[in-house]
Amino acid sequence: MADGMRETRGILRHCLFLTLTLAVVPGCAPPPDAPQASGTPRLEWAIAIQAGAGVISRSVDEANRQEHLDSLGKALAIGQRILQDGGTSLDAVEQVLIYIEDDPRFNAGRGAVYNHDGGHELDASIMDGSNHACGAVAGLTTVKNPIALARDVMEKSPHVLLAGAGAERFADEMGVERVTQEYFHTEHRLRQWQEMLRREADPDAPGTAGAVALDRHVNLAAGTSTGGLTDKRFEQIGDSPIIGAGTYADNATCAVSGTGKGEEYIRFAVGHRISALMAYGGRSLQDAAEEVILRTLREGDGGIVGVDRDGNIAMVFNTEGMFRGAADSSGRFEVAIWK
């Protein structure tokens, strides 16, 4: 009888150990077809996008507002189609960001802001939540679509982050499309920079572009692309190409893309912190995002979009607004700017 009791206690201890391990260790999660904690079915796919926080006033004219919403809708529809057709979250993230990089309304690719020397320097990163593979580039000056080169870093090099002249040489080897600095120019960004010079103001953060996605294979991905700060100096690099700060993805928890004051996102490792609150604190994506964006960061610092492994989407910001959109397999499709 005593031996039987000891054996039973041993089995119970082993089961408890396995339960706790699955609950807190990243990468150890319920099987992909398991229901959510609420008992409702997991969504087949989901995607959220952002194109900058705190970057447009409510007083903007109706035509300008609608143009931005239409652009967000077109970008979101690209990701929606890829995921509906069974494509990967990585492809959805990359193609959405290529579209936004090509859209002069946003601060990524064409339409990137001016630095202090009157040029353009672009950053981007992408991450695969299934295996923590990631790639990033910073300080690009001739690459048309930085997010595509970031994916090349992830998939075709042993590195994570390449910057400046080295990243440009890698672009030579990859054969990605190149442009002159004039390609990135827009009159709006030029006037914005000139006004900042007149005011002798500190560098300003007009936004980034980001996307997060869950695909039918239950894989998460995140990506972020930006032209950085208006009037930035000394080849400053913000959070967008920093894995764990502006971009993070882990299949056990969530995918996150941030926008805002890059130094704060780096200091607080915003993307990874949200994931850690879920993995080790048992928080939902929404709760974790609110904890970091609304209570850790300061008002006006920015926002994030995120999606968890069940398809739940969070879009949280502490600014007046954030260009954003969300779609999923339940039929949801929405774009918005302000709260």
Q: Which of 1-15, 23-37, 127-141 has the highest mean pLDDT?
A: 127-141
Q: Give the CA diameter of the chain.
A: 87
Question: How much is the average pLDDT of 8-33?
Answer: 41
Q: How far, CA to CA in Å, does 207 sit from each of 85, 188, 230?
A: 30, 14, 10
Start-to-end CA distance of the chain, whole Å, equals: 65
| Domain assignment of residue 193, yes or no | yes
Q: Which of 18-22, 51-55, 209-213 has the highest mean pLDDT?
A: 209-213
Judged by average pLDDT, the poorest of 1-5, 79-83, 147-151, 302-306 is 1-5
Query: Which ranges in 25-181 belong to alpha helices (H)?
Result: 62-84, 89-102, 146-156, 164-174
Tell me whether strands 220-226 and 209-214 are parallel, antiparallel or unpaired.
antiparallel
Is the predicted pLDDT of residue 289 greater than 60, yes or no? Answer: yes
| Domain assignment of residue 327, yes or no | yes
| Domain assignment of residue 21, yes or no | no
Q: Report pLDDT for 201.
A: 72
For position 167, which CATH number holds?
3.60.20.30
Q: How many domains does the chain have?
A: 1
Residues 279 and 238 sit within 8 Å (Cβ to Cβ): no
Question: How much is the average pLDDT of 107-133?
Answer: 96
User: Which H or E run contains 213?
Assistant: strand 209-214
For 330, the token pair is 């339940």
| Domain assignment of residue 222, yes or no | yes
Q: Report pLDDT for 145.
A: 98
Cα–Cα distance measured from residue 285 to residue 297, given in angstroms and rounded to the nearest whole number:
17
For 134, the token pair is 């990631």
Q: Is 40 a catalytic residue?
A: no
Phi/psi at 161 (nearest 5 deg)?
A: -130, 125
Q: Report pLDDT for 109.
A: 95
Q: Report pLDDT for 32.
A: 45
| Domain assignment of residue 169, yes or no | yes
Cα–Cα distance measured from residue 125 to residue 110, given in angstroms and rounded to the nearest whole number:
17
Is 235 or 13 the better-scoring residue by pLDDT?
A: 235
| Domain assignment of residue 153, yes or no | yes
Q: Which one of the listed residues 208, 224, 259, 319 is annotated catalytic?
A: 208
pLDDT band at 200 (very low <50, low <70, confident <90, very high): confident
* Structural domain of 85: 44-338
Tens digit of pLDDT for each residue in 37-62? 445 679 999 999 999 997 677 878 88
Question: How much is the average pLDDT of 237-266?
Answer: 97
| Domain assignment of residue 212, yes or no | yes
Cα–Cα distance measured from residue 235 to residue 184, given in angstroms and rounded to the nearest whole number:
17
Q: Report pLDDT for 196.
A: 82
Q: Report pLDDT for 241.
A: 98
Q: Report pLDDT for 179.
A: 98
pLDDT band at 27 (very low <50, low <70, confident <90, very high): very low
pTM listed for this prediction: 0.88
Cα–Cα distance measured from residue 321 to residue 230, given in angstroms and rounded to the nearest whole number:
19
Q: Report pLDDT for 202.
A: 73
| Domain assignment of residue 157, yes or no | yes
Is the predicted pLDDT of residue 314 greater than 60, yes or no? Answer: yes
Neighbouring-strand partners of residue 221:
128, 213
Is the predicted pLDDT of residue 320 greater than 70, yes or no? Answer: yes
